[in-house]
Amino acid sequence: MIIRIGYLYNAISRFYWSLRARVQLCIRGVPFPKGFVVLGPLGLSARGQIFIGENVTIVNSSRFNRVGINHPTQLVAGDGATLTIGDNTGISGAAIFCSQSITIGNHVLIGANCRIYDTDFHPIDFMARREGRPCNTAPIVIEDDVWLGAGVAVLKGVTIGARSVIAAGSVVTKNIEPDTLAGGVPARAIGGVNAKQTNQPTV
């Protein structure tokens, strides 16, 4: 009986949060993709363009994923920016802030509390900050089958090659080649990834 109640609760939650996300996307002119699953409240700001592929799952609360999600996923596309999320991608409590271009491929896993920023937000020079001058921005590309561990930060101008794995807590400031295991602050290659391996851990 308890198990049946649990299944019913999960089904109702999936329906409610996905319906709420559908309304959010519709209001902002973002097409609702096939198979899109949202669990928990989604933060969404779309002054630019957001494209979401099919069968994407976004988890926004530790109620639905017990890995320690600190906040709902934030999807932000600023004026003139384009944020693209590919098919079959999973995201848990991430903050993705796009001021120019962020492209996330297919079958990507974005672990709990990751941050992906294609902008510095503020100039480094203090006078530039005082005067409100623009800061540096550069596109980010995360290719197919990449796995970002929990708490990874991906900064502007970075390309992460297909099938690469970034260790939890790493800060990616430079390009990562395909099939690479990388980690650290800043992240660097620490090994290779077996491209033939098919078992993938959950987000």
Beta strands in 15-94 (DSSP E): 37-39, 43-46, 49-52, 57-59, 74-77, 82-85, 90-92
DSSP states of 130-186 as a string?
HHT----B--EEE-TT-EEPTT-EE-TT-EE-TT-EE-TT-EE-S-B-TTEEEETTT
Q: Distances from the Cα of 83 to the Cαs of 80, 172, 176, in angstroms?
A: 10, 19, 20
Q: What is the sign, positive or negative, of the torsion defined by CA atoms of 133, 136, 138, 140?
A: negative
Locus of tokens 């198990």: 3
The one-letter amino acid at 117: Y
User: For this structure, is 71 an active site residue?
Assistant: no
Q: Which listed residue (61, 122, 135, 173) is catalytic?
A: 122
Please enumerate in sequence order all residues whose Cβ is within 8 A of that of 104, keeping only pairs 6 or more positions apart, or say none.
84, 85, 86, 89, 96, 110, 116, 142
Task: List the Cα angle 67/68/71 in 5-degree steps.
Answer: 130
Residues catalogued as catalytic = 122
